[in-house]
Amino acid sequence: MKEIEILVEVFTPKDTVLNILERFENVGIKKVTDNYFFDPLRTDLKPNDKGNLTRCFRLRKKGEKQLLAYKIDHFDEKGIWTYSDEHEVEVSSFEEALKIVEHLGLKPLITIENEKHTFITDKYEIVLEDVKNLGLFMEVENLDTDDERPVDVIKKEIWDFINNLGIKTSEECIYGKPELMLKKHPVVLLN
């Protein structure tokens, strides 16, 4: 699935942002824990020398659901992230999935805990994320995963949408939350 989204840090107070987003369909609030893993034998699942991930493997707890995901990030000619191919599947048991991951030899990289407030429009999923030890973020994702238009055209439309909300944000984060967390809280990878 082609995932085209924009992630921004939010500087407007959380309560104000939630009031602004209430005009859209409120899907609810979920506590989410993302566990990222690296493979000591493969370089593509480790942060590169700049601390960036080009591929990642994640085990997620989202409310009552558990999901395994493998993401492949795509970058433009300047090395800026543009979109991801995300392959995700629900699993019935977090504990059993974790045992499989451990038996495959993958090691914990970083854990991200957040509270996600999700809203839907006819075109976008808007997620306000209060990320523990990182900050307040908003992710706006194009819901049409079959959209064949150029990524930059879709992203311009998402930016127009964000700018019309009246929420003070950063420029687009050129890193995902795993990279932002690793830059703020570096870890040492042990084999």
Tell me the pLDDT tens digit for each residue of 16-53. Answer: 999 999 999 999 999 999 999 999 998 888 888 777 78
Give the span between the Cα atoms of 66 and 90, in whole angstroms. 6
Under DSSP, the state recorded for 145 is T
- In one-letter notation, the amino acid at residue 109 is L
What total number of domains does the chain contain? 1
| Phi and psi angles of residue 109, each rounded to the nearest 5 degrees, phi first | -105, -60
Average pLDDT over residues 134-141: 97
Rounded mean pLDDT of the chain?
Answer: 91
- Residue 88 placed within a domain: yes
Task: Give the per-residue pLDDT at 25.
Answer: 98
Looking at the domain assignment, is residue 42 inside a domain? yes
What residue numbers bound the domain in which 95 lies? 2-184
> Which of the four pLDDT bands, split at 50, 70 and 90, describes residue 10?
very high
Cβ-based neighbour number of residue 148 at 10 Å: 7
| Per-residue model confidence (pLDDT) at position 11 | 98
Could you tell me if residue 190 is inside a domain? no
Confidence of residue 2 (pLDDT cuts 50, 70, 90): confident
**pLDDT of res. 95:** 94
Rounded mean pLDDT of 128-154?
A: 92
- Quote the pLDDT of residue 1: 66
Kindly report the pTM of this predicted structure.
0.86
Work out the pLDDT band at 175, boundaries 50, 70, 90: confident
- Nearest of 143, 123, 132 to residue 32 by alpha carbon: 132
Nearest CA to 56 out of 172, 43, 79, 159 is that of 43
CATH code at position 136: 2.40.320.10
pLDDT at 113: 96
Report if residue 93 sits inside a domain.
yes
Percent of the chain having pLDDT more than 70? 97
Q: Is 179 helix (H, G, I), strand (E, B) or coil?
A: helix
In a domain, 189, yes or no: no
Ranking 71-75, 113-117, 165-169 by mean pLDDT, the lowest is 71-75
Of the pLDDT bands very low, low, confident and very high (cuts 50, 70, 90), residue 146 is confident
Model pLDDT for residues 78-106, shown as the tens digit of each residue: 877 888 889 999 999 999 999 999 999 99
